[in-house]
Amino acid sequence: MAEPIGAAIVTIDGCVTVAVRDDLDDQAVLRLQDRLMEEVARRSAKGVIIDISGLEVVDTFAGRMLGAMAEMSRLLDARTIVVGMRPAVAMTLVDLGMTLDEVETALNADKAMALIADEPGLRSHRR
């Protein structure tokens, strides 16, 4: 059994959701990635919703991990949507030069689920 990641993964309506905590270190993030993908495969989920409203800091490593998760779930035929990005985090990511083009975002879990329900399995045409 893998080490606990300290975050609850809940699957609702075919969407695997998790709220990321601020005190995760790099290894915990990688473990979270593993657990999420396991769950996606197990549930044949159509979506992954990652709530980062608890994150005060998203650096290039975390940004790349989010992109990796999006790509992994895409390969598993699920759509990843990141929600709850704080304004300060958005502004900081822009200064870092991270556009996270490969990652879909929405304001909150409700909007994310609506997006996934509308076009299950398809990428957003927004980008």
Partner 1 sequence: MNPVSAPIADEAPRAVTLRAQSDVAVARQAAAQAMTAAGASAIGRTRFVTAVSEVARNAILHGGGGVVRFARREGPQGASIMAECRDRGPGIEDVGRALSDGYSSKRGLGLGLGGARRLVDLFEITTAPGQGTMVRLTSRAR
Partner 2 sequence: MRDEGGLTRLLTASFDDIATRWIDEQTAEGVGRADLIPVDETRAQSRELLSALLRAMEAGGGDGPMADVAFDEVRDVLARIAEARIDRGVTPTEMAWFMHSLKPALFATIRSGDAPIEAALDEVMMAGRVVDRMAIHAMDSYVEKRETVIERQRAEMNEVSAPVVKLWDRIVTVPLIGTLDSWRAQTVMENLLEAIVAREAEVAIIDITGVGTVDTMVAQHLLKTAAAVRLMGAECVICGVSPKIAQTVVHLGVDLPNVVTRIDLESGLDYAFRKIGLKVVERDRDRERQRALRRS
Residues that bind partner 1 in the complex, under the rule CB under 8 A: 23-27, 56-61, 64, 86-89, 91-92, 95-98
Closest approach of Cβ 57 to partner 1, in Å?
Answer: 5
Q: Is 57 in the site for partner 2 (CB under 8 A)?
A: no
Bridge-based pairing state of the strands 79-83 and 104-106: parallel
Altogether, the residues listed in the chain come to a count of 127
Give the DSSP per-residue string, 17-68.
EEE--TT--HHHHHHHHHHHHHHHHHHT-SEEEEE-TT-S---HHHHHHHHH
Q: Which of 108, 120, 121, 123 binds partner 2 (CB under 8 A)?
A: 108
The helix (run of H) or strand (run of E) holding residue 87 is helix 87-96
Nearest approach, Cβ of residue 98 and partner 2 (Å): 8
| Six token digits for residue 8 | 């609850």
Least distance to partner 2, CB of residue 59, Å? 14
Contact residues: partner 2, CB under 8 A: 81-83, 85, 87, 90-91, 93-95, 99-100, 104-108, 111, 126-127
